[in-house]
Structure 1
Amino acid sequence: MSVDVETLFDAFRQFVGKSSLAPREFGDLFGQAMRALVKFDYIVVFAYRGNERPIDLYSTFDSAEHVIFVSLYQAGPYLLDPFYHTARAPKPGVWRMRELAPDRFFSSEYYRTYYVQTGLAEEIGFFVPVGNDITIVLSLMRRGETGPFPAQEFSLLRKADPLVATLVRQYCSDIGHLFDAAVAKQGRGRRKVKLNAADTVWRDLNLTDREAAIIELVLQGHSSESIGLRLNIATGTVKVHRRNVYRKLGISSQTQLLSIYLKKLNEH
Structure 2
Amino acid sequence: MNLTERDILRLRRAMATVGTPAFFPAYRRLFRARMPFATFLMFRFDPGKAPMLLDAWLMAKKLPSSALTEYVDNTYAFDPFFQFRDLPRGGGLYRLPEIAPDRFFSSEYYLEYYRKTGLCDEVGLLAPLPSGTRLHLSISRFEEMGPYRRRELQCLKHHAPVLLELLTQHVTLLDPHRSENTPVETPSLAELIRSHAREKLAIGLTKREAQIAALVMQGHSNGSAALTLDIARETSKVHRRNLYRKLAISSQSELFGLLRHLM
TM-score class normalised by the smaller sequence: 0.7 to 0.9
- Partners of 1:177 and 1:65 in 2: CA distance: 34
Percent of pairs identical after alignment?
A: 33
Q: Is residue 2:234 matched to residue 1:236?
A: yes
Q: Is the aligned partner of 1:201 residue 2:193?
A: yes
Question: 2:103–2:221: 8 Å Cα contact kept in structure 1?
Answer: yes
1:20-39 aligned at under 5 Å gives the runs 20-22=19-21, 25-39=22-36
CA distance in 2, matches of 1:179, 1:17: 22
Aligned to 1:55: 52
Correspondence 1:12 to 2:11: yes
Q: Secondary structure of the residue that 2:30 maps to in structure 1?
A: helix
> Given that residues 68 and 118 in structure 1 are in contact (C-alpha distance below 8 angstroms), is that contact kept between their aligned partners in structure 2?
no
> Equivalent residue for 1:218?
216
Q: Give the whole-Å Cα distance in 2 for the aligned partners of 1:101 and 1:163.
A: 25
State how far apart, in whole Å, the 2-side matches of 1:51 and 1:262 are: 18
What is the deviation of 1:63?
7.0
Cα distance between partner residues in 2 of 1:19 and 1:143:
29
Closer/same/farther in 2, CA of residues 194 and 20 from structure 1, 3 Å limit: closer
Equivalence for 1:262:
260
Q: Structure 2: which 5+ residue stretches go unaligned?
A: 199-204
SS class of match (1:205): helix
> TM-score with structure 1 length normalisation?
0.83
Give the Cα separation in 2 of the matches to 1:78 and 1:150: 26
Q: Distance in 2 between matches of 1:118 and 1:177?
A: 36
Q: Secondary structure at the match of 1:83?
A: helix
Give 1:42's aligned residue. Answer: 39
Unaligned residue ranges in structure 1 (runs of 5+)? 184-192
Q: Distance in 2 between the 1:179 and 1:71 partners?
A: 25
Tell me if structure 2 keeps the 8 A contact 1:194–1:200.
no
State the partner residue of 1:188: none
Q: Per-residue CA shift, 1:198-257, capped at 9, x if unaligned?
A: 122322213211111111111111111222233333333222211221222222221221
Rounded Cα–Cα distance in structure 1 between residues aligned with 2:238 and 2:71: 31
Count the aligned residue pairs: 250
Sort the Cα spacing of 1:236 and 1:16 in 2 relative to 1 into closer, same or farther, 3 A.
closer
Residue of structure 2 aligned with 1:76, choices 74, 77, 88: 74
Q: Which residue of 1 aligns with 2:201?
A: none
> Over aligned residue pairs, what C-alpha RMSD do you find?
2.7
